[in-house]
Amino acid sequence: MAVEITPKGTHGVKMRQLPRPFMKIILKFVTLILRLRGAKVVTLTTVGARSGRTHTTDVGAFPEGENRWLIVASYAGAANHPAWFYNMARNPDKVWIKIDGRKLKVLPESLKGQEREAKFEEIVAVSPSFGEYQTKTDREIPVVRLTAESR
């Protein structure tokens, strides 16, 4: 299992850097929209690719059987991948999610080829905004499977 960094795009949504308090408000709003659009929201914890510090963010997750979820590194259709995606690739053994009051260590795996296409279509059927994001950028938006580690 591994997270593979795919090429960046040449165009996409421009993500503005805002002060942290404003970003927190915006992220809460985005989380609410994700929930309203059919996604389950989990708190994703990764370890920084460069800093080595822990980072948390809320992401939409789509259940895939027991103890498995799919997440999408859409970054709203930006040309670059979100920071958490790079963190996962660099530190795949240091990824956790908090879901339904439980904190689980998970193993991330990038989906590729036909499997990625099929799962992305399933996700878009439930939450069409992800399909809209794909039209805004020329990069292939990654889909990552998170599997809870067995204890």
Predicted confidence band of residue 1 (pLDDT cuts 50, 70, 90): low
The domain in which residue 24 lies consists of 20-148
DSSP secondary structure code for residue 37 in this structure = T
CB 72 within 8 A of CB 142: yes
Contacts of 126 (CB under 8 A, 6+ apart): 37, 38, 39, 62
pLDDT digits (tens, 9 = 90+) for 32-62: 776 666 668 899 999 999 999 999 998 989 9
Please tell me the pTM assigned to this model: 0.86
Question: Which pLDDT belongs to residue 150?
Answer: 76
Mean pLDDT for 17-25 is: 69
Domain-embedded: residue 12: no
CATH number, position 88: 2.30.110.10
Predicted confidence band of residue 76 (pLDDT cuts 50, 70, 90): confident
How do 54-63 and 102-110 pair as beta strands?
A: unpaired
